[in-house]
A and B are shown apart, each in its own frame.
Chain A
Amino acid sequence: MADRVRVKSWMPPGHIRTPAYLRGKTGEIERRLPAFPNPELLAYHLPAPDIPLLRVRFTMEEVWGADAERPEDVIEAEIFAHWLEPA
């Protein structure tokens, strides 16, 4: 996984742990976490293979554009690897 990543802008139905406000946004990997069962399957009691989890750091400017309260402040969130692509 590249150090700069973009969150996929999928909008699937179901139990999704990728917040909509971060979809399509680009950030950098803050740290790599262990793999955890895929919550999108786990929520429905389906077999849920482990997927690596990453903490991604986004600038407020990237997330909110001109509306950012302070462009250089950051938001960090845990995003599962299948939601990320190299940026």
Chain B
Amino acid sequence: MPHDHAPHPYRPDQDGPLTEAQVTEIAIRELLIEKGITTASEVTAEVEAMDARSPAQGARVIARAWTDADFKARLLADGTAACEELGIEMGTLKLVALENTETTHNVIVCTLCSCYPRNLLGLPPDWYKSRAYRSRTVKEPRAVLREFGTRLPDKMAVRVHDSTADMRYLVIPSRPEGSDTLTEDALAALVTRDGMIGVTQL
């Protein structure tokens, strides 16, 4: 197609040479397939499974916690086991759930990399992996929250959780006012990814 309008910024095609890591990945993948250890369709299926994960799983957990106090207690005591109760495949993910209350707001960050409960929330948003979010959230969380439109009352304490090692974190947002009559499915639809990271309130 001709492209004959005024110049504008564009993102160049990625025609540069492969990095060492990319060459290594391709070599290992091809060897595993040649040796019959895996197949190309298994690799594709794994990528699809990874892409299919979404915050809907986490929202289901939150809606259950809002409607079932015993479940919430189990979720706070052992996040991994409680999610497995709901049939969620946790794999190696070890979960700590943290509850927002009238006096405490929780927010999650991984200063060292981008640790994230992918089984529950899908792939992390780009900003979660940015140096700005990672460095500022531990230093000035209230300023970061304000940039997400989250203004906390003065009396509310902030707990920042740096996901430094083997645990992953899920914030249980406060249940929105006026949601008393909603079904569990309708409640789950109110729960957002950002609410479960703790950068917004619902």
Contacts and interface: CB of A to CB of B under 8 A. Distances in A.
B141 interface: yes
Interface size bracket, B side: 20 to 34
Given A17-B112, A19-B111, A76-B159, A69 B140 contact: yes
Interface in A17-38: 17-19, 21-22, 33-34, 36
Interface string B153-164: 000011111111
Contacts, number: 65
Given A19-B112, A73-B160, A36 B140 contact: no
Given A72-B157, A74-B157, A19 B143 contact: no
A75 B165 contact: no
B164 A74 contact: no
A73 B158 contact: yes
B139 interface: yes
A76 B160 contact: yes
B138 A21 contact: yes
B33 interface: no
Contacts of B93: none
A22 B165 CA distance: 14
B165 A80 contact: yes
Interface centre among A19, A67, A80 (most CB of B within 10 A): A19
A16 to B, nearest CB: 9
Given A19-B162, A76-B160, A33 B167 contact: yes
B74 interface: no
B157 A18 contact: no
Interface of A: 17-19, 21-22, 33-34, 36, 39, 53, 55, 63-64, 67, 69-70, 72-80
Given A75-B138, A76-B162, 9 more contacts: A18-B164, A19-B112, A33-B167, A55-B167, A69-B143, A70-B158, A72-B157, A78-B165, A79-B164
Interface of B: 94, 96, 111-112, 138-143, 157-167
Report the 3 A-B pairs with minimum CB-CB distance, sorted nearest first.
A78-B165, A77-B162, A73-B158
